[in-house]
Each structure stands twice: as structure tokens, then as C-alpha cells.
């Protein structure tokens, strides 16, 4: 029965992805900004006005980023059909060692190819080129904008409601111990999510500036675009760094003169993300927020398959919330230890253990 339930749960989440993705994202953003809303409330600002300020700030940042990056992105989209051809040309510089093998393979193909496949004079061949997929992305843009708007509206209502859901949760729970534990879990999840995401955002901003400066030093086009790309992709553990290295290397093959320089650009991008992942993030995030790397990788890939890009963004915050919830429930403390990083079992006891 448990197995059937899990299969149906995953299938339902995949089927209702268009609805669940903005809902889950809005709930996570509400948990992140709930401490900010309470801080504004202590200054005498009503929850509705505070929610409006937070959502307006997020929307302004999104619009400013989209407007400032629309020009460079449009340029690269227009060049997309030629990028593959230019990369193949640059790769020829690295194929000198294997020229002999390639010539031998061509001779074998000529010997073994059937005679009837040879083209007759005057016969025209028709080649059908595949669609680049840019039209499909353009057609899906209104739907993406609609989901963003839905997420911001739902986030506004959740923030504007204040602590209404917590009050209702306290009302329906039977005992005082359950009420206190529920509020403690909710506040702990808010605190850890806020600390985690704000810290990661600051680290990613520093990484983005470092990547932008490195791309400027190498003479890459649109170094600001690379900085923003590195900032955004680093919210996706592991896979984001791999995608960033691949994009930087491909653009360097097209933009720089030598193929060796392009490989050097990719190596520098990888080195910067490695320093961030191995030293900066473990130091600033803190032990109580660190997660099992294998579980994080599996979670990111699973949610990428389930919910695409949004799934990769929410995978780690969901793990942080799940681990925090397990720490407060004695029956689930084993799951919490499994989700934690190595050595976290020796930490001081959680409130549930006390």
C-alpha cells in the first residue's frame, strides 16, 4: 500500500505540475520572507502593506533584470543557428593529432559504401533541417509569465494573512504540547529557510561578480550576462555549475581566437564554482543547514525530471524544510540524520530530543 501510494503521489505531482510548481514556490517564498514581514510589523507596518512592499520589490528586481539582459540574450538567440558551425570550426584546431585516423576512416567509408548510393549528375537532393526549438520556447513564454504572476499573487495573499494559518493550526490541535511543538516547527523552518536562502544568495552574488570579472579579463562578450548567469545557476546544486561551465566554454569557442583559450575559460569557471562549493558555502552556511551531498544530488535530478527548472530550484529548500521537520519528531529523527551531512550526528540534541 505504501508503494502504491508513493507511485500515485509522484504521478499526481507530475500530472499537476503546472499548478503545483507555482504553489510550492509561493509557499517557500512566504516562509523565507515571513521573518521580514514580522520585522516590518514590529515597526508598525500592517501585514498587507508589508506583503505589498515585499512582492513589489521582488517584481521590480525581476523586471529590472529582464530588461537589462534582454539585449544580450536576444543577440545570442539570433546567433544560435551559427554557434554550432562556429564551434565545429574552432574544434578543428584540436583535431590535428587525429587527422590520420580521420583520413583512414574516410577511405574505409569510400571502399565499403555501395555504388548505387553515388549521386547521379543533375539529381538534386533535398535536406530537411530540424527546428531549433526557439519557436516552441517563444510560444511557451506567456504561460511562464502567467505562472510567475500567479506565484507572486499567492505569495502576497499568504504574507498578507499574517499568522492566520498558525493560529488555525494552534486552534485545531488538541493538547498544549502539540500546539507548542507545531509553532516551534513552523518558526524553526522559517528561520532556517531564511538563513539558508539569504546566505546562499549573498554567496552566489559574490560568485557572479567573480565570474563576471573573470570573463571581462578574458575578453568574453557580455561579461555581465555571464555574472548573472553564474549567480542564477548556482542556486541549482552541482548541475548548475556543470551547465555554467558548458555554456561558458561554448561561447568562448565562438568568441575567442584559440581553442586553448576557450578551454581555459571553462577551467576558470569550474575553479571558481569549486572554491565556492568546497570552501565558501560550507563555512558560511553552517553545520546545522548542511545536507547529505548524495541526497541533494538525487533530489535535484529527481525534481528536475519532475518539475524541470523550478524543480531544481526548490529541491534543496524542500530538503532543508524536511530535515528541520524530522528533527522535531522523535519517530523521524533517523530520517533527519540520514539527510544531514557527515558528522552532524555528533551535534547537540535538538529540541525534540530534549
Q: DSSP for 166-219?
A: HHHHHHH-SSHHHHHHHHHHHHHHHHHHHHHHHHHHHHHHHHHHHHHHHHHHHT
E strand residue ranges, 222-275: none
Number of domains in the chain: 1
- CA–CA separation, 152 vs 156, rounded Å? 6
**In a domain? residue 280:** yes
Q: Which three cell numbers stand for residue 185?
A: 516547527
Cβ-count burial 298-319 (b if 16+ within 10 Å, e if not): ebbeebbebbeebbbbbbbbeb
Q: What is the pLDDT of residue 117?
A: 46
284 lies in which domain range?
2-92+141-346
Amino acid 348: pLDDT: 45
- Assess if residue 154 is contained within a domain: yes
Residue 109 belongs to some domain of the structure: no
Q: Which pLDDT belongs to residue 353?
A: 45
Task: Categorise residue 44: left if φ over 0, alpha if ψ from -120 to 50, beta otherwise.
Answer: left
Residue 133: inside a domain: no
Q: Dihedrals φ, ψ of 131, to 5°?
A: -70, 140
According to the model, what pLDDT value does residue 95 have? 59
Contact assessment for residue 200 and residue 235, using Cβ atoms and an 8 Å cutoff? yes
DSSP 123: -
Residue 98 lies in a domain: no
Rounded Cα distance between 95 and 82, Å, is 20
CB of 300 closer than 8 Å to CB of 313: no
Q: Are 184 and 170 a contacting pair, CB within 8 Å?
A: no
Distances 247 to 84, 117, 250, 285, 340 between C-alpha atoms, Å: 12, 39, 5, 27, 32
pLDDT tens, per residue, the chain with 354 residues: 888 998 998 899 889 888 998 999 999 999 889 888 888 988 988 888 999 999 999 899 888 877 877 776 666 666 666 666 666 666 665 555 455 556 655 665 666 555 444 444 555 554 444 444 444 555 567 777 888 899 999 999 999 988 888 888 888 888 888 888 888 888 888 888 888 888 888 999 999 999 999 999 988 888 888 888 889 888 888 888 899 898 888 888 887 777 778 889 989 999 999 988 888 887 777 666 678 888 888 888 898 888 888 888 888 888 888 888 888 888 888 888 888 877 655 454 444 444
Grid cell listed for 64: 529590472
**DSSP state letter for 163:** T
Does any domain span residue 200? yes
Report yes or no on 132 lying in a domain: no
Task: Report the 10 Å Cβ neighbour count for 178.
Answer: 13
Amino acid at each position: 500500500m505504501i508503494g502504491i501510494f508513493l507511485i500515485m503521489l509522484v504521478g499526481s505531482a507530475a500530472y499537476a505540475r503546472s499548478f503545483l510548481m507555482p504553489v510550492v514556490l509561493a509557499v517557500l517564498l512566504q516562509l523565507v520572507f515571513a521573518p521580514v514581514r514580522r520585522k516590518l510589523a514590529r515597526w508598525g507596518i500592517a501585514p498587507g502593506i508589508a506583503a505589498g512592499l515585499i512582492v513589489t520589490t521582488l517584481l521590480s528586481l525581476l523586471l529590472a533584470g529582464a530588461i537589462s539582459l534582454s539585449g544580450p540574450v536576444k543577440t545570442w538567440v539570433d546567433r544560435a543557428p551559427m554557434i554550432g558551425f562556429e564551434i565545429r570550426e574552432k574544434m578543428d584546431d584540436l583535431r590535428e593529432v587525429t587527422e590520420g585516423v580521420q583520413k583512414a576512416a574516410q577511405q574505409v567509408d569510400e571502399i565499403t559504401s555501395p555504388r548505387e548510393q553515388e549521386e547521379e549528375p543533375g539529381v538534386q537532393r533535398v535536406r530537411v533541417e530540424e527546428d531549433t526549438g526557439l519557436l516552441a520556447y517563444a510560444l511557451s513564454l506567456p504561460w511562464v509569465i502567467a505562472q510567475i504572476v500567479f506565484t507572486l499573487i499567492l505569495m502576497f495573499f499568504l504574507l498578507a494573512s499574517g499568522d492566520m494559518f498558525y493560529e488555525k493550526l494552534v486552534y485545531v490541535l488538541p493538547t498544549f504540547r502539540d500546539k507548542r511543538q507545531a509553532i516551534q516547527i513552523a518558526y524553526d523552518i522559517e528561520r532556517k529557510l531564511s538563513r539558508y536562502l539569504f546566505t546562499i544568495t549573498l554567496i552566489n552574488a559574490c560568485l557572479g561578480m567573480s565570474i563576471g570579472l573573470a570573463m571581462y579579463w578574458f575578453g568574453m562578450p557580455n561579461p555581465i550576462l555571464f555574472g548573472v548567469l553564474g549567480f542564477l545557476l548556482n542556486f541549482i546544486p552541482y548541475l548548475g555549475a556543470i551547465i555554467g561551465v558548458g555554456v561558458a566554454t561554448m561561447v568562448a569557442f565562438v568568441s575567442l581566437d584559440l581553442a586553448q583559450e576557450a578551454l581555459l575559460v571553462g577551467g576558470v569557471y569550474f575553479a571558481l564554482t569549486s572554491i565556492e562549493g568546497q570552501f565558501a558555502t560550507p563555512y558560511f552556511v553552517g553545520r546545522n543547514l548542511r545536507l547529505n551531498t548524495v541526497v541533494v544530488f538525487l533530489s535535484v535530478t529527481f525534481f528536475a525530471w519532475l518539475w524541470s527548472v523550478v524543480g531544481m530550484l526548490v529541491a534543496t529548500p524542500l530538503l532543508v524544510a524536511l530535515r528541520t521537520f524530522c528533527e522535531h519528531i522523535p519517530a523521524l529523527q533517523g530520517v533527519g540524520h540520514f539527510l544531514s551531512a557527515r558528522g552532524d550526528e555528533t551535534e547537540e540534541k535538538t529540541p525534540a530530543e530534549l
